[in-house]
Amino acid sequence: MSTSPNPIEQSFELAAWRCADLTPLVCQRLFSEHPETRAMFRSQGSELVMGSMLALTIEATLDFAGERSGQFRMIACEVASHDGYGTPRQLFIAFFTVIRDTLRDLLGDEWSPEMSCAWEQLLTDIEAFAGITA
């Protein structure tokens, strides 16, 4: 099924076979693990905003984990943008962790040790790239 040798890409490819839209799963997990985020989205149209935010994040993540052709720079732009919204930087990086955890749960037995290692490294690299400190 999966053709990419990149474990990050593999995780998204396999998830796409199981789920047409990750948005509801990611939203549910984000709001459950970080209830303070619910108030950050307006009540009307928040599904569209979250879907767009997730799509841009996935594109930037795949580029960051792959070719780094330019889309990955959106991560640094969004850190600055979210700073303006008053979003704590740790909460910003938590969104990437929520995506990883959602993929892991969705894939179940197909989640590999290679994916786990690649995602751990990716999260560390994104934190460093975005200037996020513990």
- Geometric angle at alpha carbon 79, from 76 and 82, rounded to 5°: 150
Contacts for 68 with CB less than 8 Å, ≥ 6 apart: none
Model pLDDT for residues 73-119, shown as the tens digit of each residue: 788 888 888 778 887 888 888 999 999 999 999 999 999 999 999 99
What percent of the chain has a predicted confidence (pLDDT) above 90?
56
pLDDT of 117 reads 97
Fill in the amino acid letter for 30: L
pTM for this entry: 0.88
Got the DSSP string for 17-52? HH-S--HHHHHHHHHHH-GGGGGGS-STTHHHHHHH
The residue that leads in pLDDT, 46 or 78, is 78
Q: Angle of helix 46-65 relative to helix 74-85, nearest 10 degrees?
A: 140
